[in-house]
């Protein structure tokens, strides 16, 4: 709680800095820019405009209502990103669903990261330095990794070099962002550990994730007990089936490549293959953003 209050106070202080007409920050060389880059700032919603070139134009009302309800209950876990246009005027870079959902519940301000002119190198340095801190929770680390990928344009290989971590470690952190926001909040508040989160991320639907999360809290389950619960979930027969079907043995060539593909794409892919070399690869995704990430990973564009 104290950490959250500290962040909010920092955001308000930077907001005051941005609203000083005598110190309008436009570049990393301006006074106060070093305090801005890489930090969260509380911005007035009315000072932000959407990007007219945003490719996404249709927003599902029901999904926005669900997100709005989550924000009302838990707050905004992942701030939006904007770029500075002029004095106290900003344009969305990412997070339009979060922006619209916040509008729906009447929020006046929203936490945001601000991009300013020629801040690419400074942003990278600020984020890498932030990751080295000892008091970050796993979700904060994951969000910083994701920003380095999305906003600085680092691949996971380059990111591994920058922060001095194995690529598998980075992948494990990034996978936590697939968890339901309630579970992410529980991890940030210390109700569960990263080990619990790593087990839960193997559950595809958020409804099932939340069901197991509640059982963890009710039973004060350890990480090993949670992993066993997840295995039990995967082993149970689908609804309507009376007996589980025996799994067919996967050919060696497919089994050898499965884990490599999972790590490379950072996705829970599955393979069906015959000994004759025929088969199919299934790559699930749960949002347009995740589809675009997979497409870029596969095609490079």
Which residues have a catalytic role annotated? 96
DSSP three-state, residue 82: strand
- Residue 112 near residue 37, CB atoms below 8 Å: no
Distance, CA of 213 to CA of 192 (rounded, Å): 9
Closest CA to 180 of 163, 169, 170, 192: 192
State residue 203 phi and psi, 5-degree precision: -95, 125
Distance, CA of 174 to CA of 216 (rounded, Å): 22
Distance, CA of 109 to CA of 107 (rounded, Å): 6
Distance, CA of 227 to CA of 230 (rounded, Å): 5
Closest CA to 140 of 195, 172, 188: 188
């Amino acid at each position: 709680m104290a950490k959250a209050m500290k962040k909010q106070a920092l955001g308000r202080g930077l907001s005051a800095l941005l609203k000083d007409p005598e110190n309008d920050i436009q570049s990393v060389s301006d006074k106060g820019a070093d305090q801005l880059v890489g930090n969260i700032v509380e911005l007035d919603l009315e000072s932000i405009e959407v990007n007219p070139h945003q490719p996404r134009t249709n927003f599902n009302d029901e999904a926005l209502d669900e997100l709005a309800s989550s924000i009302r209950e838990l707050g905004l876990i992942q701030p939006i990103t904007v770029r500075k246009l002029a004095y106290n005027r900003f344009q969305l870079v990412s997070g339009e669903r979060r922006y619209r959902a916040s509008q729906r519940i009447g929020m006046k301000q929203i936490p945001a990261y601000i991009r300013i002119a020629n801040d690419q190198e400074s942003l990278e340095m600020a984020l890498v330095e932030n990751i080295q801190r000892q008091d970050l929770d796993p979700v904060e680390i994951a969000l910083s990794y994701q920003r380095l990928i999305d906003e600085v344009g680092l691949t996971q290989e380059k990111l591994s070099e920058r922060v001095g971590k194995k690529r598998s470690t980075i992948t494990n952190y990034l996978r936590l962002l697939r968890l339901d926001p309630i579970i992410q909040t529980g991890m940030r508040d210390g109700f569960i550990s990263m080990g619990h989160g790593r087990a839960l991320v193997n559950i595809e639907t958020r409804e099932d994730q939340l069901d197991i999360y509640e059982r963890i809290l009710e039973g004060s389950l350890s990480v090993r007990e949670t992993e066993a619960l997840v295995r039990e979930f995967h082993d149970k027969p689908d609804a309507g089936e009376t007996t589980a079907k025996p799994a067919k043995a996967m050919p060696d060539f497919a089994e050898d490549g499965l884990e490599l593909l999972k790590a490379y794409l950072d996705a829970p892919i599955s393979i069906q293959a015959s000994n004759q070399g025929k088969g199919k690869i299934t790559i699930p995704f749960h949002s347009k953003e995740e589809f675009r990430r997979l497409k870029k990973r596969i095609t490079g564009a």
